[in-house]
Structure 1
C-alpha cells in the first residue's frame, strides 16, 4: 500500500524505567524514537534519532523489525564531565552567550537568545512567584541571567557551556529523549528541595521539535522530582516558550498548559522580534505556555499589556474582551472579531464557510481537507464536522438548520443549553470526555 504523506506520524519514546526488553536502540544522541504512521502497527515503523531528523546530521535509521530480530549493543555511553578551559564562571562574570557563535540548526539546536525585555519579564515572574530554584532546559541566556540571584541548573545540548559551568549547574542533555550525557547525580542533587523551595522548569525548545517529545521529557522530570523528594503526584511549575500556532499541539499533550499573551522577543532572530524590517506586523509569534495560573503572572503595562477585570488576568492591549465568548480571544496579536454564524471569535481576515460551518482563510480553502482537521462540536472527536457526525446521525430524529441540538440560529452546539439532554460531559485538567445518553 503506498505511503500517505498526509497521514500523521506517531511516535513512542523510551521510558526511563524501561527494562531490557523494552529498550530502544541508541545513536550518539541517546535512545532513539520509534516512528510509525497511523495505518501501521508500531512494529512496522522505524527507529530514528530523537534530536536530529535530518539524515545529514544523524543518519541512524533502523526498521523496528530488525531491532526485534537482532538487538544491538547501545552505542550511547555516559561521558565524563570535560575539564573546563580557563576558569569556571562566578555568578557575577560575563554571560558567554553574548560572545559565542550561536548554533543555527532550526530543528535541533537553534540558539535564539532572549532579548533584555524577555529576560526582565521572566526574572520578574520568578520573583513574584517566590521561585527559589530554576531548571533552564535549553535556555542558556536565562540561566546566566538568573544564576546571580537564584539556584539555577542548565540542561543543554551545547557542550561548549561545560567550559564555563561546573557539573553542579550544567549537564549536556538531549531534551527530546530526557538523556543525560554526563553523570546525572549532580542534577538529581539539585532537584532535592527543602519545604521552603519552589522549583520552576523553563524550556525554550527549537521550534521544529515535536511537542510529544518535550511533553514526555517534562513529565519525566516531574516524576524524578517527586521520587527524589518522596512526594506523591505533585505538579511542577513550568514555563514552555513556543509559538502560539502550536497551542493545540501543546494542549493535546499537556491540557493543563495555558497560553499567556506575553510576546517573547529574541535578540538574534529577525522575525521573532518586534524590531527591524524583518519583524512580523503583529510582533513575535512566540508565547509563554504555563501551568501556573495566569492570574499570577504580571505582564508589564509599559510593553503594551493591560489587566482584564473580567478574565482576572493580564492580556495584550489590542486583545479586547468578547462578551459572547466570555474571554479575551486573540492569539496572534491581531484584534479578533466574533462571528455569529459559527458563534466564535476569529481572525479579522477570515470569512465564513457555510459548508464547513466555520470561518477560515480566503485563499486555498478546500472544504473536504479542512473538515478532516476539525473537532466535532457534538462528539468531540477530530476528523469531521457536526453535520457529518456518524454518532449524531444514528441518534437524531430530525434534521435541523442552525444548532443541530435545538434548531436555534443564535448559537451553535458548543454553547447549546440542551447539551445535557444528549450527553454527559466530564472536564478534568483541560480535557473533556463526552458520554452519549440514550435519546
Structure 2
C-alpha cells in the first residue's frame, strides 16, 4: 500500500479544515463519459468540486487522481477552461518528461531504434518486444556473478556492466542475491511522499495469514491490486520446495517493479482511474488473467492508500468486475468476483454504499511495516519499523495492539475461519467468526463492536489528528475506540455505540462527553440528515435546480453591472472628447 495521500493543495486544505465547518471536496463523475478527462502524468484526471453546507457548488476543477498533494503532481484545470494549442502541446511534453525511465514502452522504443525496426513493426509486435527486452536484461543480470550484480540506490535500478560507468558517482550496492531479487519490495526504497516521507507495506505475518486463507478457500489465482508483498510471497511459495498452485498478477502504480517482473506478472496501473500505463497490451494481460478458466478460482485482493477516496476506488473495482464478467456465461451472470478489500473499519458505511453485499470481517491483526525514507536514504539501508511500534503510532503501557484495518469481502463470512489462537470465536447467532471481546447484542441482533485501534483514550487529540490524516471528507469524524470492549446499546439511537460515548439530548445522538453541541454535523450538506452524504441525497436534483437559478440570477445581475459600467465609461469618453474639441476650436480662434 502506498503512503497515505495528502490533499489537493490549497483547495483541499480548506476542505479538511472546513470539514469541521461543514465543507469538503467531492469527486464528480460526469454524466457524459464520452468527454475525456485531461491527462496528467498519472493518467486521466478526476473531476472535483468543493461543497459547503447550505451553499451552492463552486466551480469544478480537474486534478490528479493518484496524488492528493499538489507538490507531487501540480495538475490543475477548471472544467470549463479552454486551452490553447501551445498549452496542450506543453502539457503533453511535460507528461512525457515525467514518465518513469524504466517504463516498458520506453525500453521497447530504445530496442526498436537500436535494431532499426519500423514503428509499425514494433507497435504490432509490442507484447513480444516487451517480453524480449526486459527478459533479456533480467536474465543477463541473473547470469552475472554475485560480485557483479549491482543495484543503484539513487536511480533504483538494476545495473548491467554497461551501466556501471554512468552510475559510478551514485550510491551503488553490490552482491545482490537471487533471494533479494525475489523480494523487490525489500530492495527498493519506498516512493517518497512529501507529507509523510513514509510508505506502508504488509508485514510477512499479515501476508502469510492472507496466503493461508486464500489457499483454504480454494483460490488458484490472485489479482493483487496495490499489494506487492502479498504478490512476492505467493510467487515465493510457487517456486519453493512445497510448490503452491496459486498464481498472482500485481497491479501497482510503482513502476520500478517492471524490472523484476515480466508483463504476465506485473502491470503498471493506477487504481484511482483504472489506467494501464502500458496501454492495451497490459489491459489484455489483466483481462486474460481474470477470464482464465472461465473466471473460476480467481479473487481480487486490494489494499488502497488510507487517503484514497472510496468513490473512485469503487468505480475502478466495478470496471475490473465487469472485465471478469465478460468471460462468464449467462448462467453465471449473478455471480460476483470474490474480493478482499483491506481498509480501515471506519469506512464501512461508505464501502457498503457501493457494494451492499460486502461485510466486514472481525480480523484485527493486520500490521504494516512502516518504512522511513529519510533514515533509509541516510544510512543506505531499509529501516523497517512495525507499524504498531512507531513513535507516531506507539501504544504505551495502556495502549491497544489491534489494527484499525479490516477485510471487507463479498465472500460469506461463515466460510472464513479466523484463528482461535489469536483470540477469535465463532458466533452461532451471527454465523461468523468474531473477536473474543466482541459480544453479541440481542437488541441489534449482531456482534457490533468494531474492536480497537492504536492509541490511548478517546480524548487524545494528537493521536486522533494523526489517524485523521489517513482519512478524508468521506469518513466520519474519527475518534479512538476503546480496547475491544463490548459496545453499549443506546435505546434512543437504536444502535450500539462506543463505551465512552453518551447520549446528548441537545444533539439527539450519542457522542463524546466533551463534544461541542453547537458544532456542525457531518451529515448531508443539502438536507442535514446523518444517514447519507450529499452525493446520494434524494433532494440533490431540487438543490441543483435552485443553485442553477441562483447562478443565472447572479449572472444577469453581473451582466447588468458590466453594461452599466461600459455605458458610463462610453458617456464619459464622449464628454471628454467634446470638451477636447471645444478647447481645440477655441485655441485655433485665438491663434487666428
Q: TM-score, normalised by structure 1?
A: 0.75
**Unaligned runs of at least 5 residues, structure 1:** 384-439
The answer for the alignment partner of 1:250 in structure 2 is 351
Question: 1:95 deviation in Å?
Answer: 1.8
- Asked if structure 1 preserves the Cα contact closer than 8 Å seen for 2:180 and 2:187, the reply is no
Select which of 248, 260, 268 maps to 1:164.
260
Alpha carbons of structure 1 residues 56 and 230: separation in structure 2 relative to 1, 3 Å = farther
Query: Does residue 265 of structure 1 match 2:367?
Result: yes
Question: 1:119 deviation in Å?
Answer: 1.3
3-state SS of paired residue (1:173): strand
- Asked if structure 1 preserves the Cα contact closer than 8 Å seen for 2:223 and 2:301, the reply is yes
Query: Does residue 65 of structure 1 match 2:90?
Result: no
The answer for the alignment partner of 2:457 in structure 1 is none
Q: Could you tell me how far apart the structure 1 residues matched to 2:369 and 2:335 are?
A: 35
Q: Which moved more, 1:310-319 or 1:355-364?
A: 355-364
Question: 1:72 deviation in Å?
Answer: 4.7
Question: 1:343 deviation in Å?
Answer: 3.1
Question: 1:101 deviation in Å?
Answer: 1.8
Query: Does residue 29 of structure 1 match 2:29?
Result: no
- Asked if structure 2 preserves the Cα contact closer than 8 Å seen for 1:203 and 1:240, the reply is yes
Q: Could you tell me how far apart the structure 2 residues matched to 1:119 and 1:48 are?
A: 34
Question: 1:105 deviation in Å?
Answer: 2.6
Alpha carbons of structure 1 residues 86 and 25: separation in structure 2 relative to 1, 3 Å = same
Alpha carbons of structure 1 residues 374 and 152: separation in structure 2 relative to 1, 3 Å = same
- Asked if structure 1 preserves the Cα contact closer than 8 Å seen for 2:181 and 2:260, the reply is no
Alpha carbons of structure 1 residues 206 and 291: separation in structure 2 relative to 1, 3 Å = same
Larger helix percent: 2
The answer for the alignment partner of 1:86 in structure 2 is 138
The answer for the alignment partner of 2:547 in structure 1 is none
Question: Which structure 2 residues correspond to residues 103-118 of structure 1 after superposition, within 5 A?
Answer: 103-105=191-193, 111-118=199-206
Select which of 415, 421, 424 maps to 1:302.
421
The answer for the alignment partner of 2:379 in structure 1 is none
Question: 1:304 deviation in Å?
Answer: 1.6
Q: Could you tell me how far apart the structure 1 residues matched to 2:526 and 2:423 are?
A: 33
Q: Which moved more, 1:148-157 or 1:194-203?
A: 194-203
3-state SS of paired residue (1:289): strand
Alpha carbons of structure 1 residues 185 and 45: separation in structure 2 relative to 1, 3 Å = same
The answer for the alignment partner of 1:396 in structure 2 is none
Q: Could you tell me how far apart the structure 2 residues matched to 1:12 and 1:28 are?
A: 20
- Asked if structure 1 preserves the Cα contact closer than 8 Å seen for 2:423 and 2:436, the reply is yes
- Asked if structure 1 preserves the Cα contact closer than 8 Å seen for 2:180 and 2:186, the reply is no
The answer for the alignment partner of 2:394 in structure 1 is 279
Select which of 495, 519, 525 maps to 1:344.
495
**Unaligned runs of at least 5 residues, structure 2:** 1-10, 108-132, 143-177, 239-243, 372-383, 453-483, 535-592
The answer for the alignment partner of 2:26 in structure 1 is 10
Question: Which structure 2 residues correspond to residues 96-175 of structure 1 after superposition, within 5 A?
Answer: 96-105=184-193, 111-147=199-235, 148=238, 149=244, 150-175=246-271
Query: Does residue 179 of structure 1 match 2:299?
Result: no
Q: Could you tell me how far apart the structure 2 residues matched to 1:139 and 1:57 are?
A: 22
- Asked if structure 1 preserves the Cα contact closer than 8 Å seen for 2:506 and 2:517, the reply is no
Q: Could you tell me how far apart the structure 1 residues matched to 2:296 and 2:522 are?
A: 48
The answer for the alignment partner of 1:241 in structure 2 is 342
Alpha carbons of structure 1 residues 107 and 246: separation in structure 2 relative to 1, 3 Å = farther
Question: Which structure 2 residues correspond to residues 398-409 of structure 1 after superposition, within 5 A?
Answer: none
The answer for the alignment partner of 1:425 in structure 2 is none
Q: Could you tell me how far apart the structure 2 residues matched to 1:369 and 1:217 are?
A: 32
Q: Could you tell me how far apart the structure 2 residues matched to 1:67 and 1:317 are?
A: 60
Question: 1:242 deviation in Å?
Answer: 0.8
Q: Which moved more, 1:126-135 or 1:174-183?
A: 126-135
Question: 1:372 deviation in Å?
Answer: 3.9
Deviations 1:11-69 (A, max 9, x none): 23579x943xx111111110000111345569x30111101121111111000011599
Query: Does residue 356 of structure 1 match 2:494?
Result: no
3-state SS of paired residue (1:311): coil
Select which of 304, 307, 319 maps to 1:208.
307
3-state SS of paired residue (2:80): helix
3-state SS of paired residue (1:101): coil
Structure with the bigger RCO (C-alpha within 8 Å, sep 6+) is 2
Alpha carbons of structure 1 residues 315 and 106: separation in structure 2 relative to 1, 3 Å = farther
- Asked if structure 2 preserves the Cα contact closer than 8 Å seen for 1:375 and 1:381, the reply is no
Q: Could you tell me how far apart the structure 2 residues matched to 1:260 and 1:305 are?
A: 11
Alpha carbons of structure 1 residues 67 and 219: separation in structure 2 relative to 1, 3 Å = farther
Q: Could you tell me how far apart the structure 2 residues matched to 1:216 and 1:67 are?
A: 28
- Asked if structure 1 preserves the Cα contact closer than 8 Å seen for 2:493 and 2:510, the reply is yes
3-state SS of paired residue (1:261): coil
Alpha carbons of structure 1 residues 67 and 234: separation in structure 2 relative to 1, 3 Å = farther
Q: TM-score, normalised by structure 2?
A: 0.57
The answer for the alignment partner of 1:288 in structure 2 is 407
Q: Could you tell me how far apart the structure 2 residues matched to 1:167 and 1:369 are?
A: 50
Larger strand percent: 1
3-state SS of paired residue (2:370): coil
Which of these two proteins has the greater Rg computed from alpha carbons? 2
Alpha carbons of structure 1 residues 72 and 227: separation in structure 2 relative to 1, 3 Å = farther
Q: CA RMSD in A?
A: 3.6
Alpha carbons of structure 1 residues 312 and 92: separation in structure 2 relative to 1, 3 Å = farther
Question: 1:309 deviation in Å?
Answer: 1.4
The answer for the alignment partner of 2:170 in structure 1 is none
